[in-house]
Chains A and B, each alone.
Chain A
């Protein structure tokens, strides 16, 4: 029996440690900037600027190693709310939010804000619908929650399979994107690069599980904020006296509109959601920044918001963070802080995108090709943008200026005329940190569910703590290797993968998770039928539409498949729960009692209570 850890104090020097880390990162950036001014070769600085922070993350991952089960699966249940919120926001936004979302904003403007709305709303749902109850329940993972909430090992195993799908999709999407970004700094073969990145992710989390995940994610969150805000604030100062990018870019919007008019960007009419969301390939701006519902129609916009909201709120890699917080009130606060940090990021990206847009339209489009600044060539060489070298009329037109969606954020400092590799590197490491936070979260979530829900709880309940951790570590390595292999052998669009994964998560988990906390009559049978019907309908619809087997139902796009999956799951859960009554009355009484406990903040976790009851029963026998 493990010693109850809820009274173990939080490390009192946590604030000092992270203040030191922050100063170290800032100091490092200043040193690099000085080196660059002194004329040290850019090529030798480039690997440094992303290498050193990543080295820090690996070191933090090593320092936070643990051999305790409680630490490995729940970070000791004593992470203070602000740190937990920072970790939550960093892994919630991920590299896809940083690079792909910003790029999509640059290309289609207003319409992609559906994601931002859904993202922030999803985090808010976590605050009041799920986090406090999952924390009070105290299971180590989402399948663990379902398994113990309904006392059903079958449900537990079946949920593990459901968890693997969205988590693995996100893992591969983030890994692929991280490899693409790192490619701008270190020239490596794709396979070597992926091995390196997957290896680094493993190194950060292998020894400490969620404990390492928590503290590396906090560090990654700090680097994310520094790396995003420093270049952006410097840039803002060139436009306005107010160094607050979020407010300053308002004055540029008017000019952006008139430049767009001059460059021939016409108002557009809505099209299918799949086509409207920009692809990763190089392309040019597609619609006026401010035009509302130009490519994504109002209905599709709303469906995307709802789908994203429900999916983000039930993403297993984010929900596992409920277990690490310090108490039930702490879980609520963690999620609320997470929402605040996330909201800050979400309102920053539109500023970044519109700066990039303004600079492109103001400084490049319609100008003489001969007068183009020299950095344009280096961007071209680095494959960050595509613009023709030889141009017939000598004028760079909008149609000739192409930029890959995920490179927009990186191109910003160059567009602003700062060829400093430090600013470019800062933006890259900010996005990479978010990417690593997301990659690691998926890795740990998969590894801990395999070790805890498949190996320990179901197959070998007598396994020792060290065996459980060994299995988790092996699963972690295997998952990373598999993901790396998968990314090499396929060409993925990170943003679409994110939306699909979130859709599948919404369809499989949202209805049943909601009902299992908020609707008493739900039965184990109903939960099993509900999760699987939701999953099968959602993923079946995605595959059917993508492979042209099924026509669109009511014009609902495959990206928002959960709009069909969620109602089906709700109906099936409720119907099965009501029609097939629970036979075992004693079990139902236990479940009801357990649910009552879950709903009250005070007292030990339901998980600990269950273990205690089990131990007593075994003692009696």
Chain B
């Protein structure tokens, strides 16, 4: 069980992590949309990179961001005694 005085710092860390994650997701979207024409100048395995980033990399990056977030959040929860493990 979490100590009462740990709640506030725990939430501060959690909120900061969520903000970081949100910014990561948004920046992937912005990169995919606005840097598309720059990437497209390069080709890899036959894919123009701008297309490759949206069609292949971005969805996988999103999944990776999800798993990265879990690891960070679990660390925070354990640190402040807020995880479910007894």
Contacts and interface: CB of A to CB of B under 8 A. Distances in A.
B29 A117 contact: yes
B79 interface: no
B47 A117 contact: no
Nearest to A257: B48
Contacts of B33: 298, 301-302, 305
A332 B29 contact: no
Contacts of B7: 596, 599-600
Interface majority SS (helix, strand, loop, mixed), chain A: helix
A251 B44 CA distance: 10
Interface string B40-75: 100011111011101110111011011101100110
Nearest to B18: A128
Given A250-B46, A350-B55, A117 B63 contact: no
B32 A339 contact: no
Interface string A222-251: 000000000000000000000000110111
Contact of A302 (B29, B48, B63, B73): B29
Given A117-B29, A253-B47, A332 B69 contact: yes
Interface in B1-32: 1-2, 7, 10-11, 14-15, 17-18, 21-22, 25, 28-29, 32
B6 to A, nearest CB: 9
A465 to B, nearest CB: 27
A258 to B, nearest CB: 13
Contacts of A333: 70
A340 B66 contact: yes
A551 interface: no
A602 B83 contact: yes
A127 B28 contact: no
A342 interface: yes
Interface in A470-493: none
Interface in A177-207: none
Nearest to B7: A596
A124 B10 CA distance: 22
Contacts of B59: 116-117, 119-120, 342-343, 346-347
A293 B54 CA distance: 12
A117 B58 contact: yes
A601 B29 contact: no
Given A127-B70, A596-B7, A602 B82 contact: yes
A305 B82 contact: no
B56 A602 contact: no
Contacts of B22: 125, 128-129
Most A CB contacts (10 A, CB to CB) among B37, B52, B66, B74 go to: B66
Contacts of B47: 250, 253
Contact of B62 (A120, A251, A298, A329): A120
A170 interface: no
Nearest to A599: B11
Nearest to A353: B55
Contact of B74 (A124, A329, A339, A350): A329
B40 to A, nearest CB: 7
Contacts of B69: 127-128, 332, 336
Contacts of B51: 110, 253, 290, 292
B46 A253 contact: yes
Nearest to B57: A347
B48 A253 contact: yes
Nearest to A116: B59
Contacts of A128: 17-18, 21-22, 66, 69, 73
A601 B37 contact: no
A133 to B, nearest CB: 10
Contacts of A332: 69-70, 73
Contacts of B63: 120, 124, 336, 339-340, 342-343
A309 B82 CA distance: 29
Contacts of B29: 117, 121, 302, 305-306, 309
A511 to B, nearest CB: 14
Contacts of B15: 518
A429 interface: no
B55 A113 contact: yes
B9 to A, nearest CB: 12
Interface string A108-126: 0010010011011101110
Contacts of A335: 66
Contacts of A298: 33-34
B36 A124 contact: no
Most B CB contacts (10 A, CB to CB) among A113, A124, A254 go to: A124
Contacts of A343: 59-60, 62-63
Contacts of B73: 128, 132, 332
A596 B67 CA distance: 25
Most A CB contacts (10 A, CB to CB) among B1, B15, B40, B83 go to: B83
Nearest to A517: B18
Interface in A339-391: 339-340, 342-343, 346-347, 350
A519 B39 CA distance: 38
Contacts of A306: 29
Contacts of A123: 62, 66
Interface of B: 1-2, 7, 10-11, 14-15, 17-18, 21-22, 25, 28-29, 32-34, 36-37, 40, 44-48, 50-52, 54-56, 58-60, 62-63, 65-67, 69-70, 73-74, 77, 81-84
21 contacts: A110-B55, A116-B58, A116-B59, A117-B32, A120-B63, A250-B44, A250-B45, A250-B47, A250-B52, A251-B46, A253-B46, A253-B47, A305-B33, A306-B29, A329-B74, A329-B84, A332-B69, A336-B63, A340-B66, A601-B84, A603-B1
* A-B residue pairs, 3 tightest by C-beta: A250-B46, A343-B59, A336-B66
